[in-house]
Amino acid sequence: MEMYTRQEEKTDIADDPKARELLRQAFGKTARWQADFSGFQADLVINVNGKETHGTVTVKGPKDVQVTLPDEELQKWAQNQIGMIAVHRGPRTFEESDGKYVLTLDEDQHPLGPKLTIHGDSMGSFYRIHDNRITQINRKMPYVAFTINVEESALTQDQKNLTTRYTVYYFSPKDAALQNVESFSDTHIRIGSSDLPVTRRIISYENGEVTVKTVTFANHKML
């Protein structure tokens, strides 16, 4: 999934303090790299249906990820994947993230928790929250809409929730037709004060077949 920048839009909807506090608590329980995180380097192995490619990666921050692989197309794919990890794990405050939008709550009885809508967000985002965890994320972009269901999380040494398994459903933004499904499984390692990626496995449907890709990080070195 390509990264897309959310834009703020004007809205006349009134903010709901209960929704804001619910999302603030879930945000505070989500694992992120610490404020003074300066990055890491690691060796990489990319496996696509059994074919391995070796390379390296340097992550200095959410917008500073450099992947080196001998295959240009695979390098672009890995750069995007690791870039998304860095963006999601990068340090930021609630006010810098979803807290800058207008929030409302629909207290339905959904198994994944009540619906929390983010107004003034160009991606029409809404979440579901249960037990201080964001359990579902919904967004719509010009070329694709998607729903992420968070299925499993680990508890870090800092007592924060770190997602380890989730599934992404991709839809046509025009008619909501299902286009693809990707299943993600992640593992991590604690080095110093940082929880760093060790593996990512992605199962998806591409070019008429089910494809399994893995990204393996080794020999981590903090910067």
Residue 111, domain member (yes or no): yes
pLDDT in tens, 75-84: 999 999 999 9
Is the pLDDT reported for residue 3 higher than 90?
Answer: no
Classify strands 145-155 and 209-222 as parallel, antiparallel or unpaired.
unpaired
Is the pLDDT reported for residue 122 higher than 90?
Answer: no
What is the enclosing helix (H) or strand (E) of 205? strand 194-206
Domain that holds residue 95: 17-220
Residue 136, domain member (yes or no): yes
pTM over 0.85: yes
Residue 84, domain member (yes or no): yes
Q: Whose CA is closest to 186, among 170, 203, 171?
A: 203
pLDDT in tens, 172-222: 988 989 999 999 999 999 999 999 999 999 999 877 899 999 999 999 999
Neighbours of 175 (CB within 10 A): 6
Residue 209, domain member (yes or no): yes
Confidence tier at 29 by pLDDT (50, 70, 90): very high
Residue 9, domain member (yes or no): no
Q: Summarize the confidence of residues 35-42 as an average pLDDT.
A: 94
pLDDT in tens, 69-111: 999 999 999 999 999 999 999 999 999 999 999 999 998 889 9
Residue 6, domain member (yes or no): no
Beta carbons within 8 Å of 148's beta carbon, 6+ residues apart? 136, 137, 138, 166, 167, 168, 169
Residue 100, domain member (yes or no): yes
Identity of residue 186: D
